[in-house]
């Protein structure tokens, strides 16, 4: 049975493995840099939820929020061999239930838009992000 935990106390080598396995990170040579940045990002998040098959980490997601109006969900990833079993949807529901009164925003790859639409999200034409900011971010530079 799959269990869900709210904890930031994760083995970040396992977290990074799942990022790579799911294709969310590409450059193996930057593993150490990624690990440091992602660990800091998770520890600084307001909520981190993870999915477990016994003692094996199989997925996670995290929220950043002002706890008054807005929340964003980041790094929703399920280990490939556990995908399509409802785990991603459960992780999302845990996130949405954590702050039920807030406005949630997501920046998602086009290929997962349908997944988020099933959870009630709507595509918005007017979203913006800073391209230069992305270029200097440790994950992309």
Ligand X SMILES: CC(C)(COP(=O)(O)OP(=O)(O)OC[C@H]1O[C@@H](n2cnc3c(N)ncnc32)[C@H](O)[C@@H]1OP(=O)(O)O)[C@@H](O)C(=O)NCCC(=O)NCCS
CA distance 77 to 60: 6
Minimum distance, C-beta of residue 84 to ligand X, in the bound complex (Å): 5
Task: Please count the residues of this chain forming the interface with ligand X, following the rule CB under 6 A.
Answer: 19
Q: Of 57, 78, 95, 104, which lies in the binding site for ligand X, with binding defined by CB under 6 A? A: 78
**Only segment of 39-47, 62-70, 104-112, 129-137 that touches ligand X (CB under 6 A):** 104-112
**Only segment of 1-9, 42-50, 87-95, 97-105 that touches ligand X (CB under 6 A):** 87-95
Residue 20 has which token pair? 């790579």
Please, what is the Cα angle at 100 between 94 and 102, to 5 degrees?
A: 120
- Helices then strands, counting H and E runs in the chain, come out as 5, 5
CA distance 20 to 15: 9
CA distance 50 to 120: 22
Give residue number: closest CB to ligand X: 88
**Using CB under 6 A as the criterion, which residues of the chain lie in contact with ligand X when the complex forms?**
22, 24, 76-78, 83-89, 108-109, 111-112, 114-115, 118
């Amino acid at each position: 049975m799959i269990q869900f935990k709210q904890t930031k106390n994760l083995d970040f080598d396992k977290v990074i493995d799942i990022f790579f396995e799911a294709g969310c990170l590409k450059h193996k040579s930057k593993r150490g840099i990624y690990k440091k940045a992602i660990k800091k990002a998770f520890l600084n998040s307001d909520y981190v939820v993870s999915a477990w098959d016994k003692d094996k980490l199989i997925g996670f997601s995290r929220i950043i929020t002002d706890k008054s109006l807005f929340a964003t969900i980041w790094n929703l990833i399920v280990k490939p061999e556990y995908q399509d079993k409802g785990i991603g949807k459960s992780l999302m529901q845990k996130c949405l239930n954590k702050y039920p009164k807030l406005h949630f925003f997501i920046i998602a790859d086009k290929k997962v838009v349908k997944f988020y639409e099933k959870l009630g999200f709507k595509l918005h034409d007017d979203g913006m992000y800073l391209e230069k900011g992305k270029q200097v971010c440790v994950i992309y530079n």
